[in-house]
């Protein structure tokens, strides 16, 4: 958990490759945040990639407030991380927190223009399919 939160990608990779059976990528801290959520909030996009691809982290895991990694990243304006969560993690852009707010709503609330535009574009592409 600490390695993910502090952006130590190589440590995360090593832990996942050496001790796959012993590493719980879904472990939660006292706020219900998984390593993926912590890495997303702290803008450690390389760690997010590792957790999704090597660790097979659950991209839809929620913290105590019902926030997913995507919602957290969007609310903090982490456009690079949002892109990875959508494209590699296939995060559900329509996921809602306990108050019924989506990643797009959070991005708009905090005036995260890049993320807001990205989510609108992503929604538009998916609606055309």
Pure H helices in the chain: 2-5, 9-18, 35-41, 45-53, 69-75, 79-87, 103-109, 113-128
Could you tell me which CATH class the domain 2-128 is placed in? mainly alpha
CA 10 – CA 125 distance, rounded (Å): 34
pLDDT in tens, the chain (129 residues): 788 888 878 888 888 887 655 678 999 999 999 999 999 999 999 999 999 998 789 999 999 999 999 999 999 999 999 999 999 999 999 999 999 999 999 999 999 999 999 999 998 876 665
Domain extent listing, the chain: 2-128
**Looking at residue 129, what is its pLDDT?**
54
Give the Cα separation of 61 and 129 in Å (integer).
Answer: 26
Report pTM: 0.90
């Amino acid at each position: 958990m600490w390695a993910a939160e502090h952006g130590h990608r190589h440590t995360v990779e090593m832990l996942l490759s050496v001790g796959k059976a012993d590493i719980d990528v879904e472990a939660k801290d006292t706020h219900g945040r998984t390593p993926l959520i912590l890495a997303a909030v702290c803008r450690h996009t390389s760690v997010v990639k590792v957790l999704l691809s090597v660790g097979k982290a659950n991209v839809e895991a929620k913290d105590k407030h019902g926030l997913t990694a995507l919602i957290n990243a969007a609310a903090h304006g982490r456009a690079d991380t949002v892109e990875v969560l959508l494209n590699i993690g296939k995060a559900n852009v329509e996921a809602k927190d306990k108050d019924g707010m989506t990643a797009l709503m959070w991005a708009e609330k905090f005036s995260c223009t890049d993320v807001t535009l990205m989510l609108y574009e992503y929604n538009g592409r998916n609606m055309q399919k």
